[in-house]
Amino acid sequence: MEQEAPAGWEFFDSVDFPADHTDDPMGRPRVRHVVTAVVVGHEGAAWLPRLSEALWALTPRPDRLIAVDTGSTDETAELLAAMPGVEPVVSVSARTGFGTAVSRGIETVGFAPIPSSVGPYGDDGHMPVVEWLWLLHDDCAPAPKALEKLLLQATMSPDTGVWGPKLRLWPRDRELLEVGVTTSLGGRRDTGIETGELDQGQHDQLRNVLAVSSAGMLVRRDVWEALHGFDPRLPMFRDDLDFGWRASRAGYKVGVAPDAVVYHAQAAATGERALAGTRRHAYQLDRSHAYYTVLANAPGKLLPLLILRFLLGTILRSVWFLIGKTPSGAVDEWTALLGTLLAGGWTQARKDRRSLDRVPYDDIKGLFSRSVHALRHNLEETTSTISERIREAWADEPEEQVVTTARRAKSTARVAVDQPRWRRQLIRRPFLIAWVFLAIGAVVAARSLIGGGVLRSNLLLPPHETLGALWHAAAAAPPGVTPPAWLGQFWAFSTVMFGPSGATNLLLLGAVPLAGLAAWVLLRAFVVDRVARAWGASAYGLAVFTNGAITQGRLGTCVAAIVLPLLGAAVHTVARRRRVIIQGSWRAAWFAGICQAVLFAFTPALGLLVSVTLVIGAVLGLGWRRQGRQLVFSVVLGLLLVLPWTIQLVLHPARLGQEAGGPPTAAVGPGDSLPHLLTGTPIGAPTPWWFVVPLILVALLSLVRESRQRYELLGWFAALAGLLATLVASRLGGGSGPLMFLMTAGWIVAVTVAWDSVGKSTALIVQGVLGIVLVTTVVTAGFWMVRGADGPLWRGPAQDLPAYLISAQDPPEDASILVVRKDSSGPMRYALVKDGGPRMGSLEAAPKPEQAKPITDVLSTLGGGGTGEEGRQLAGLAIDYVYLPAPVDPTLQATLDSLPGLTRASADDGDAAWLVDRSGIEGSTPLTDDTNRLWRLLGVIAWIIALIFCLPTVRRTVAVPHGTHARRDR
């Protein structure tokens, strides 16, 4: 080989020249190594100059250098021909795989000749000779001493037939790629290197491994010929793993020499160039070769379990790709698995390799990666990918925006550097402090509601006992009645919140901190001042308490308070994205549709108001541009996700006033309580109406400023829309609690934006106004914690019945209890209690009058004195007990005592109960349920699709961040 290097190469420095140790410390006889190097190039003009420089710097150099060009269309062939001492370039087709190209080059040129006289090292020519094949990629560059260190280790460990170097990141990075490689029986490639791990000598231990990368692999000639080179069925990806596995089975050791360093760009795996030798997708090819490698080499007794494992893994990965909106990845998964299993190439490979089985699998079992490690790495990768993609998807505007104006400069918190870190973090993040106080305050305020039983109130029916019962209620209703849509959504939330009771506790007792956190998500999009943002989020959370939603047990308003800011943030993302190429955000539009579906289900009146406002704003404000279409799409999506409940709202407009969990809230009107109406505090709220007056006055003062912000006007628009909607709802007799809450939320937004615009003003009037706002908020928070969250809301048993009647509803008795309420002055009311009694959703899914007519007729007859046949009629309606809670009407009690077929049963003081004699009578209840599982199934599918489109897209690629365990070579 020529000795003159090209001018100007400065690729390596002293760090790539380790100390020379060319002699065997064990004193074994010296061995003459004859090395034939093969470089395979394909479209490698971008990397070959560096490889050529590296070959010039090698000491020693290979005895023969063979170059193979696989149909390159760039300058690869010319650059290969210009390498030092290279043989004539061998040209093959572009569809030739790496292993086949190496074999073709050796067949054409041959191995380096063995010198018969005095050797190049001054020996006498009688030294033992070992022939080696050194494989190089066109996108790798060996360090100057790489070959020398490989040969030194080969001298010291003559029983090792395959050696591999330490791989670092191209071009000269300290980041590690591989120091040997292995695989799990599930096909997971494992390098044992963490993401971004730097080379500090922590992996510089000589050891045997399952395989080494083909970039820099040094393989003894007899091993190469015995194994017939790389498998031609593996043109790239996993060919090195398959070769190492076969070598280990045949009794040849595979070692890694960490002193030998090779830099590798992995151009094909990272997508920097097109794949050679195949037309398939890189990911599909990698998965297919992973399956083939395991199936062709694994012990036969494990094949059934491995195929089952492949099938399960393919299903899980396909679901992941579908969730990540990458259906092509799912197609590649199934194509790789089925194509490999059905092609049958692996079965022939198993027959061809039977002669290699000289070492039992149990002897090399320790070289494989454990399945638990693969599972742990999969979970780590999944969580990191989800968090990274979510940050990318929703990072529309940075939280801490670039300071470009004087106002923003004043709003930036400056903390002395000598302050402790925890103090600096708290000063820079005032909302963190505020939220911690809100969370602690929620626990303090709920002190009287912590204990056994369930949360109940006049506006909140008890939650279902189990998830199964809640799912049945979401899918079953009397004939002609549609179960409420919010039950299905509440069931989904309950699955991750320890059941329906846990979900109820969290939404009601934790509504203040949860609403505050949601408000912070919205305000961070357009409020710069941290203190103003923290106050706005805290005040919004406390507004849930001042509205009476917690103390009255209004589950719908609590959910709406949490969802409303999230909807605002999604709408803001859609409306503010006005880039030239991409306008709007479909991901945010899908999320806005989900939020509107929740509002339609839990608070229909508020959902209708918001949807109408969005449609009008989209048409008039944004026009029919992409953003306007996205907002209209979100409204339509919200209506579709609550089908068929949407149809019920159209057919029965009175249901718009209902809230999830109970009957409509108390209505107020200008003739009833004008202060409550104007201040947005419903009658029965825990705080006096005048608590809100300072907030309204400050919001009014913000309107007289000359530099009003558009978000202030939007806040006032929301307040006025809530006021007008409350007037309409109160006149129609519907619930107005959620609409009143919208008024308060609008004022808070207006004050927060005004605070943000004035910044840290030194004007006394401004400081005084802000002081009033802060004092009012602190007083409200103190009132909240001192008063607590009790009131109409209380915790107790799910049913106000004697214990024996509660237990009688369980199998095998499955008793039905008719609870009749009537005092001397009021009308008669009843409820048929069975299967645990009335629960959430019972009011919205109440039976139609004609279905309950048989029971109504019997009670009407009893109210008129009875005919004596009511006992048999009650038995025919499958009623086992009649229960009258206090106060008991004496006339009705006397009538029931005189009825044949009814026997007095025990009851609490002031109550009365009778056992109905059903012997010989086959009764059937008129209140039956129809289960419409089709709608629920379609609804689940629709929600899954909507949630998938809200999530960021999953990247489908063979390459992963450099240094991870799952890196695919090449």
Residues in the chain: 970
CA–CA gap between residue 349 and residue 243 (Å, rounded) = 13
Of all residues in the chain, the percent with pLDDT exceeding 90 is: 20
Q: What is the pLDDT of residue 12?
A: 47
Question: What does 250-300 look like in DSSP terms, one character per residue?
Answer: TT-EEEEEEEEEEEE--TTTTTSS--SS--S-HHHHHHHHHHHHHHHHS-G
Find out whether 118 and 193 touch, Cβ atoms under 8 Å.
no
- In sequence order, what are the beta bridge partners of 220? 132
Q: What is the mean pLDDT of residues 731-757?
A: 81
pLDDT tens track for 546-585: 888 888 888 888 999 999 999 999 998 888 755 444 455 7
Average confidence (pLDDT) over 398-402:
37
Most confident of 274-278, 413-417, 745-749, 857-861: 745-749
User: Which tokens sit at 766?
Assistant: 């401004």
Work out the pLDDT band at 244, boundaries 50, 70, 90: very high
Q: In DSSP terms, which residues pair with 881 in a beta bridge?
A: 817, 915
* CA quadruple 736, 741, 744, 746: dihedral sign: negative
| Confidence (pLDDT) at 217 | 94
- Exposed / middle / buried, residue 474 (Cβ in 10 Å: 0-12, 13-18, 19+): buried
Look at residue 562 in the predicted model and tell me its pLDDT: 94
Cα dist from 868 to 86, 862, 864, 903, whole Å = 114, 9, 12, 14
For residue 966, pLDDT over 80 is answered with no
pLDDT at 462: 86
What 3-state class would DSSP assign to 347? helix
Residue 698 or residue 850, greater confidence? 698
Taking the C-alpha atoms of residue 516 and residue 915, their distance in angstroms, rounded to an integer, is: 52
Distance between CA 320 and CA 322 in Å, rounded?
A: 5
pLDDT at 253 over 90: yes
Q: What is the DSSP string of 421-438?
A: HHHHHHHH-HHHHHHHHH
pLDDT tens sequence across 769-784: 778 888 888 888 888 8
Mean pLDDT within 52-76: 90
3-state secondary structure of 185: coil
What is the helix (H) or strand (E) element at residue 168, kind and residue range? strand 160-169
Query: Is 142's pLDDT higher than 90?
Result: yes
- DSSP three-state, residue 887: coil
For residue 566, give the nearest of 595, 528, 541 by alpha carbon: 595
Cα angle, residue 83 at apex, residues 80 and 86 outer, rounded to 5°: 85
* Measured distance CA(107)–CA(86) in Å, rounded: 16
User: Among the listed ranges 397-411, 472-486, 682-696, which one has the minimum average pLDDT value?
Assistant: 397-411
In contact, 58 and 144? CB cutoff 8 Å: yes
At 639-654, the pLDDT tens digits run 999 888 888 888 877 7
Average pLDDT over every residue of 454-470: 84
**Residue whose token pair is 């050791």:** 253
More confidently predicted of 268 and 150: 150
Relative orientation angle of helices 530-546 and 764-787, to the nearest 10 degrees: 40
Range of 252-261, 667-676, 733-742 with top mean pLDDT: 252-261
Amino acid letter, 671: G
User: Which pLDDT score is estimated for 402?
Assistant: 36
* Nearest Cα to Cα of residue 202 among 174, 170, 169, 244: 174
Scanning the structure block, which residue is given the tokens 């794949």? 275
For position 257, what pLDDT does the model report? 93
Whole-angstrom Cα distance, residue 889 to residue 827? 11
Mean pLDDT of 721-725: 86
Spatial contact of 568 and 612, defined as CB atoms under 8 Å apart? no
| pLDDT value at residue 169 | 86
Band the pLDDT of 732: cuts 50, 70, 90: low
Task: Round to whole Å and give the CA distance between 297 and 367.
Answer: 14
Q: What span, in angstroms and rounded, lies between the C-alpha atoms of 664 and 659?
A: 6
pLDDT of 280 reads 62
CB–CB of 291/918 below 8 Å?
no
Where does residue 398 fall: left (phi above 0), alpha (psi -120 to 50 degrees), or beta otherwise? beta
Residue 518 is predicted with a pLDDT of 93
Q: How many other C-beta atoms are found inside a 10 Å radius of the C-beta of residue 604? A: 29
Count CA atoms closer than 13 A to 403's CA, side-chain side.
10
Distance of CA 498 to the CA centre of its chain: 19
**Please, which pLDDT band fits residue 907 given cuts at 50, 70 and 90?**
confident
Element spanning 863, H or E: helix 849-863
- What is the predicted pLDDT for the residue at 824? 63
CA distance 852 to 857: 9
Name which of 610, 523, 522, 628 is nearest 560 in CA terms: 610
Return the pLDDT at 593. 93
The pLDDT of residue 3 is above 50: no
| pLDDT for residue 406 | 41
Range in 10-24, 31-45, 216-230, 826-840 with the lowest mean pLDDT? 10-24
**Average pLDDT estimate for 677-691:** 77
Kind plus residue range of the DSSP H or E element containing 379:
helix 371-394
Model's pTM, two decimal places? 0.68
Compute the half-sphere exposure of residue 617: CA atoms within 13 Å on the CB side of its CA.
18
Express as a percent the part of the chain with pLDDT over 70: 82
Q: How far apart are CA 93 and CA 81, in angstroms?
A: 17
Q: Is the pLDDT score of 145 beyond 80? A: yes
Q: Cα–Cα distance between 593 and 599 in angstroms, integer? A: 10
- Label residue 131 by pLDDT band (50, 70, 90): very high
Summary mean pLDDT of the chain: 80
Has residue 266 got a pLDDT over 60? yes
Rounded distance between C-alpha atoms, residue 850 and residue 856, angstroms: 9
Residue 129 CB neighbour total at 10 angstroms = 14
* Chain segment 358-374, per-residue pLDDT in tens: 888 888 888 888 766 66
Strand duo 32-41 + 64-70: pairing: parallel
The confidence band for 455, taking pLDDT boundaries of 50, 70 and 90, is: confident
How far apart CA 849 and CA 187 sit, in angstroms, is: 63
Q: According to the per-residue pLDDT averaged within each range, which of 245-249, 452-456, 474-478, 498-502 is highest? A: 245-249
User: Contact 428/415 with Cβ under 8 angstroms?
Assistant: yes
Q: Are the C-beta atoms of residues 256 and 367 closer than 8 Å to each other? A: no
With bands split at pLDDT 50, 70 and 90, how would you rate the model's confidence at 267? confident
pLDDT digits (tens, 9 = 90+) for 24-44: 555 555 678 899 999 999 888
Note the pLDDT of residue 953.
65
Q: Above 80 in pLDDT, residue 487?
A: yes
Q: What's at 636, amino acid-wise?
A: V
Q: Chain centroid to CA 709: how far?
A: 36
Sequence-distant contacts of 784-787: CB under 8 A, at least 24 apart: 784/441, 784/445, 784/512, 784/542, 784/545, 784/686, 785/441, 785/444, 785/445, 787/445, 787/686
Tens-digit pLDDT profile for residues 284-300 = 888 899 999 999 999 98
Which residues, in sequence order, are bridge partners of residue 181? 211
Q: Is the pLDDT of residue 394 over 60?
A: no
Confidence at 414, pLDDT banded by 50, 70, 90 = very low
| Position 786 pLDDT exceeds 50 | yes
Other CB atoms within 10 Å distance of the CB of residue 117: 6
Contacts of 852 (CB under 8 A, 6+ apart): 926, 927
Q: What's the confidence (pLDDT) of residue 965? A: 31
Mean pLDDT of 908-936: 77
Q: Is the pLDDT of residue 325 over 50?
A: yes
Whether the bond into 479 is cis, omega within 30 of 0: no
Looking at 54-58, 701-705, 724-728, 837-841, which range is the least confident one?
701-705
Q: Which tens digits make up the pLDDT trace of 160-178?
A: 999 999 999 887 778 888 9
Whether 423 has a pLDDT exceeding 80, the answer reads no
> What pLDDT is attached to residue 635?
92
Q: With cut-offs at 50, 70 and 90, classify the pLDDT of residue 858.
A: confident
Mean pLDDT of 121-127: 54
Mean pLDDT within 736-745: 84
- Tokens coding 386: 């989800």
Whether residue 431 has pLDDT greater than 70? yes
DSSP string covering 384-404, please?
HHHHHHHHHHH-SS-SS----
